[in-house]
Amino acid sequence: MRQRFKAVVSYDGFDYAGWQIQPAERGATIQQTIQDAISAICRQPLSITGSGRTDAQVHAWGQVFHFDVDFSLNAFQWKRAINGHLPKDIHIRSIETVDPHFHARFDAIGKRYEYRIQLGDANVFTRRYAFQSPWALNVQTMREGAAYLIGEHDFSSFCANSRTETPDQVRTITRLELVEDGDQLRLIYEGNGFMRYMVRMLTGTLIEVGRGRLTPQEVQKMLLARDKQICHFNAKPQGLTLVEVYYSSSRGSSQDALAQSCGQDK
Amino acid sequence: MRQRFKAVVSYDGFDYAGWQIQPAERGATIQQTIQDAISAICRQPLSITGSGRTDAQVHAWGQVFHFDVDFSLNAFQWKRAINGHLPKDIHIRSIETVDPHFHARFDAIGKRYEYRIQLGDANVFTRRYAFQSPWALNVQTMREGAAYLIGEHDFSSFCANSRTETPDQVRTITRLELVEDGDQLRLIYEGNGFMRYMVRMLTGTLIEVGRGRLTPQEVQKMLLARDKQICHFNAKPQGLTLVEVYYSSSRGSSQDALAQSCGQDK
């Protein structure tokens, strides 16, 4: 019987050309690598649908995808089998069966991203997972700049999507918090949707504020300008992690599906 | 004027064949990579002397080496210049001038190592820096086993050095602490010296205790046996980090040298 599965996957994206399948010469992609693993198990070509793309070198702790398959494995067996076929930098954290109408992209109601900045001297152990800032940053002015971005806004100034491609560039940021964590600064973004490069352009802009090269008020001016030419700051991809994708409980997992869930970790 | 410099270096050893220079076909080594960087700067072949070797895939936060050179750069300029020539997985944390009799290996009076174990589900972000344990571990019995190892002992049972090579296999472990840190278990070793594979063999043995395959008392029996054939457990290298090398203050850095130090970080 054909079933739809929802999977939560973590990956170290540093060595990948991003989520979305690309011409092979641009390097391996996460989506292709996972599809190849699943296809090898059920011996038929199969495609998976992610909650959205992540750029080259961007990481995920909780990216979500779905796939349909008619193959006699339960969710627990699927998790083991796929992880057994994946390289060690991609790991399925959980799999569950879901309603056949569940859609990883269209049903997502929000996402959480985290951008990590390593302050002070370069650190060999975080270089793959945090932007190594050569500059001291004023966290207070960054917080003042960030405050202008919270809420519902037209984020045209801070995304790479053209207006033809994405006519509605209004999104809501529900949380933008700067957490000082030892010698790291973590920027936590939550919202109902993020366009291409949006988190990295916002972060790049706030880094300019932290360096003293922009005032917090200029962040607001840039936002209100709704001008594709205004933002030249795109923070490096390896600092960014897609932490979680949110679904309304009615669609993300049915009661039955939860019973079959194979233990999404804390 | 010829000067001796002492450097503290951190490296992500995952992609290296260890500290010690090897035939090229075994892969790049940390020592060779640093020597090449310094030689390129002063345009003369030069060799460096480390506090000791680290195995393939083993990391360091505070490995120490010294080198002699007659070249017009101060310690601060050396740090910048070498880091500019190194790949991003090796980073000089500090450099200072030292007494010409200082020796990175012979003057070391102790070392601290840390072995990290990732418990529970595999984690893509720690896979390069922690052993991903497929087993649940009983930390209490591991602590009981570890208690037998603290103090001055003949560690012949837990090292790869032959007796011909290293006649005296008595070493003192001053600290062996198991720290539970979220979903990681960290084993912290401090002592006056560690022989080849010693930390990994001790850790591998304690992991067997944690799995319930050895009793804590069997650790003591193995230690007292002083038998090269008795220990078959060698924990995976990527979990291990050389954290710090200790020197008596009289030799590690003179007053003058401290004044010229370029800010070893906290």
Q: Are residues A141 and A234 in the same domain?
A: yes
Q: Say which of B59, B93, B125 has its CB closest to residue A121.
A: B93
Instruction: Give me the pLDDT at residue A176, please.
Output: 98
Grouping H, G, I as helix, E, B as strand and the rest as coil, residue A208 is helix
Q: Is A197 on the interface with B (CB under 8 A)?
A: no
CA distance A2 to A116: 41
* B40 located within any domain: yes
Residue A69 resides in a domain: yes
Over the stretch A194-247, which tens digit does the pLDDT of each residue have?
A: 999 999 999 999 999 999 999 999 999 999 999 999 999 999 999 999 999 999
What would the two tokens of residue B15 be?
């992609």
Do the domain assignments include residue A50? yes
Task: Tell which wins on pLDDT, A252 or A11.
Answer: A11
Q: Do A118 and A92 belong together in one domain?
A: no
Q: Which of B89, B124, B265 sits opposite A124 (nearest CB)?
A: B89
Any idea what the CATH number is for the domain that residue A188 is in?
A: 3.30.70.660
Q: Tell me whether residues B123 and A12 touch, CB distance under 8 A.
A: no
Which residues of B are designated catalytic?
A: 55
pLDDT at residue B257, rounded to an integer:
37
d(CA B96, CA B75): 5
* pLDDT exceeds 50 at position A65: yes
Is B252 contained in some domain? no
What residue type is assigned to position A261 of the chain?
A: S
Q: Are residues A122 and A204 in the same domain?
A: yes
Residues of B in contact with A123 (CB under 8 A): 10, 91
Q: Where are the alpha helices (DSSP H) in chain B?
A: 30-42, 75-85, 139-147, 198-211, 216-225, 249-252, 255-260
Collect all residues of chain A within an 8 Å Cβ-Cβ radius of residue B83: 122
Cα–Cα distance, A53 to A19 (Å, whole number) = 5
**In-domain check, residue B263:** no
The Cα A119–Cα A130 span in angstroms is 10
- Is residue A62 within 8 A of residue A244, CB to CB? The reply is yes
Asked if the structure places residue A136 within a domain, the reply is yes
Residues B148 and B76 in one domain: no
Question: Which chain A residues are Cβ-neighbours of B265 within 8 angstroms?
Answer: 120-121
**pLDDT at A19 (0 to 100):** 97
Give the residue numbers spanning the domain of A143: 112-242
Answer yes or no: do B115 and B39 share one domain.
Answer: no
Share of chain A above pLDDT 90, in %: 87
- Gap between the Cα atoms of B103 and B50, Å rounded: 9
Q: How many domains are there within chain B?
A: 2
Between B90, B122, B124, which is nearest A124 by CB? B90
Rounded to the nearest angstrom, the minimum Cα separation between A19 and chain B is 16
Q: Please check whether residue B138 lies inside any domain of the structure.
A: yes
**CATH code where residue A32 lies:** 3.30.70.580
Residues A80 and A177 in one domain: no
pLDDT at position A26 is 84
A124 touches chain B (CB under 8 A): yes
Q: What is the pLDDT at residue B258?
A: 37
CA distance A105 to B48: 55
Write down which residue in B63, B87, B106 finishes a domain.
Answer: B106
Residue B255 falls inside a structural domain: no
Find the CB nearest B265 among A11, A90, A120: A120
A84 touches chain B (CB under 8 A): no
B131 close contact with A: CB closer than 8 A: no
Contact (Cβ atoms closer than 8 angstroms) between residue A233 and residue A208: yes
pLDDT at A250: 55
Ramachandran angles phi, psi of A171, nearest 5°: -135, 160
Cα-based distances in Å from A153 to A165, A205, A224, B205: 18, 16, 8, 58
Low-confidence stretches of chain B (pLDDT beneath 70): 250-266
My answer on whether A147 and A170 are in the same domain is yes
* Chain A: closest CA distance from residue B14 (Å): 10
User: So which residues of A are the catalytic ones?
Assistant: 55
| Residue A262 or B93, more confident | B93
List C-alpha distances in Å: A188 to A9, A137, A181: 20, 17, 12
> How remote is the C-alpha of A42 from its chain's centroid?
28
Note whether B125 contacts A93, CB cutoff 8 Å: no
| Beta-carbon separation of B125 and A125 below 8 A | no
pLDDT at B1: 84
CA distances from B82 to B71, B102, B240, B260 (A): 13, 21, 25, 17
Is A257 a residue whose pLDDT tops 50? no
**Nearest CA distance, B202 vs chain A (angstrom):** 24
B125: closest CA of chain A, how far (Å): 6
Report the alpha-carbon distance of residue A53 to residue A111 in Å, rounded: 12
Q: Which residues pair with B116 in a beta bridge?
A: B186
